[in-house]
């Protein structure tokens, strides 16, 4: 009987390619964010889920930063043609883009290489590049709150929201300034691979996986009366009983405030209303339970405080665009990958630590 050779192993999937466009005057911190966040996730075999490249609008070479150094960028604009995701970090030497809302020829040529299927994101003032290219016309977008008014004036066709940390408009995403770029990149990881993978990246990066509110809480406003209490105690109280009905008046009473005063203070501190905040926390709770437990959809709905599966389904579809069942089917595997990867890594660290302790013990014995 002839021996049938085994079928060759399928080629591993190509990592999702993220190309970061480095422009003169870039901010080094923002340039590093995509590398830090997308460089972390791994699949169940330890293979990277993303590949991150940095390119310029010119051939490989130096690019000026807004600090006292330049960075060597290894790729030219041709790298953009291979991108699954393109990220434009903040930069402050955009010339006609800032002055008249017009692209330079080399920048227009570079952006023209981006595949139509690619996802495009900006961090902080990188949004000016997308707006000048016409990619934000008729869309909602954000930037650093200090630049929002100027952005709106220069690009009236863009719906600028100065209060949020980031805007996800499907194939175009924009973020507010500086650390909001971390929020945006974690959101993209969460969208691609689920909350468990994103939370694991956040934990290893020592940042919160999700920040409450928007950048409205960072805009300078008249200093509030120091005698007025914060609403943080009520938020902590609510988080401990998401599975119960929570009334606005109950939260206000926790801080000894009227409902009207509490609502105003809550919005000042978080950038959203108490109802919006509470719904967001319940959605996050539901996501976690769908990914990490065997609870039925009805049980998850009750535990997260939605009461019924129908109510939870409506809220998840509004927030995430998927049903609870579809979310669990898509992201349960991601949660298991994150758990397996964490176990493998921690096991390797424990083994190394045991080895080091053995060496130390031997040295003492000697």
Q: List, for residues 278-307, the tens digit of each pLDDT value.
A: 999 999 899 889 988 999 999 999 999 999
pLDDT greater at residue 69 or residue 326: 69
Task: Give mean pLDDT, residues 47-51.
Answer: 94
What's the half-sphere exposure (Cβ side, CA atoms, 13 Å) at 203?
10
Answer yes or no: is 321 within a domain: no
pLDDT (0 to 100) of residue 226: 39
3-state class percentages of the chain: helix first, strand second, coil last, to nearest 5: 50, 15, 35
Query: Residue 343: which pLDDT band, with cuts at 50, 70 and 90?
Result: very low
Pull the structure tokens for residue 180.
């909001």
pLDDT greater at residue 228 or residue 294: 294
Q: Which candidate in 55, 91, 124, 185 is catalytic?
A: 124
Residue 55 has pLDDT above 50, yes or no: yes
Answer yes or no: is 270 within a domain: no
Q: Is 55 tagged catalytic?
A: no
Percent of the chain topping pLDDT 70: 82
CATH code of the domain in which 184 resides? 3.40.50.880
Answer yes or no: is 55 within a domain: yes
Residue 166 has pLDDT above 70, yes or no: yes
Per DSSP bridges, beta strands 70-73 and 159-160 are unpaired
Measured between alpha carbons, how far is residue 43 from residues 16, 255, 334, 342 in Å?
Answer: 12, 45, 8, 11
Q: What's the DSSP call for residue 14?
A: P
Domain count of the chain?
A: 1
Question: Domain span at residue 189?
Answer: 16-205
Answer yes or no: is 215 within a domain: no
Answer yes or no: is 245 within a domain: no
Answer yes or no: is 88 within a domain: yes
**Residue 5 φ then ψ, to 5°:** -65, 145
pLDDT (0 to 100) of residue 361: 33
Answer yes or no: is 163 within a domain: yes
Task: Give mean pLDDT, residues 57-71.
Answer: 95
Is this model's pTM higher than 0.85 or not?
no
Three-state helix/strand/coil letters over 159-220? EECCCCCEEECCCEEEECCCCHHHHHHHHHHHHHHCHHHHHHHHHHHCCCCCCCCCHHHHCC
Answer yes or no: is 50 within a domain: yes
């Amino acid at each position: 009987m002839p021996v049938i050779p085994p079928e060759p192993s399928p080629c591993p999937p190509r990592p999702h390619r993220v190309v970061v466009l480095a422009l003169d005057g870039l901010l080094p911190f923002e340039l590093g964010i995509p590398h830090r966040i997308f460089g972390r996730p791994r699949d169940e075999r330890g293979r990277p889920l993303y590949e991150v490249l940095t390119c310029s609008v010119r051939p490989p070479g130096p690019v000026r930063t807004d600090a006292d150094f330049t960075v060597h960028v290894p790729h030219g604009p041709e790298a953009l043609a291979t991108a699954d995701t393109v990220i434009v970090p903040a930069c402050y030497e955009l010339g006609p883009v800032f002055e008249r809302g017009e692209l330079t020829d080399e920048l227009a040529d570079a952006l023209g290489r981006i595949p139509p299927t690619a996802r495009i994101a900006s961090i902080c003032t990188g949004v000016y590049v997308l707006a000048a290219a016409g990619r934000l016309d008729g869309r909602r977008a954000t930037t650093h709150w200090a630049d929002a008014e100027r952005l709106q004036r220069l690009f009236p066709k863009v719906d600028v929201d100065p209060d949020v940390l980031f805007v996800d408009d499907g194939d175009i995403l924009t973020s507010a300034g500086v650390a909001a770029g971390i929020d945006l990149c974690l959101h993209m990881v969460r969208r691609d691979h689920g909350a468990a993978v994103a939370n694991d990246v956040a934990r290893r990066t020592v940042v919160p996986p999700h920040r409450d509110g928007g950048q409205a809480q960072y805009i300078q406003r008249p200093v509030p009366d120091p005698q007025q209490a914060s609403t943080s105690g009520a938020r902590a109280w609510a988080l401990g009983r998401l599975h119960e009905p929570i009334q606005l008046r109950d939260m206000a009473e926790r801080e000894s405030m009227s409902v009207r005063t509490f609502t105003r203070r809550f919005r000042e501190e978080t950038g959203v209303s108490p109802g919006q905040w509470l719904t967001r926390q319940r959605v996050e709770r539901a996501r976690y339970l769908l990914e990490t437990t065997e609870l039925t959809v009805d049980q998850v709905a009750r535990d997260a405080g939605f009461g019924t599966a129908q109510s939870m389904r409506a809220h998840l579809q509004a927030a995430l665009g998927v049903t609870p069942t579809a979310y669990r089917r898509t992201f349960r595997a991601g949660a298991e990958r994150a758990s397996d990867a964490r176990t493998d890594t921690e096991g390797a660290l424990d083994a190394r630590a045991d080895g080091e302790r053995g060496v130390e013990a031997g040295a003492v014995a000697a």
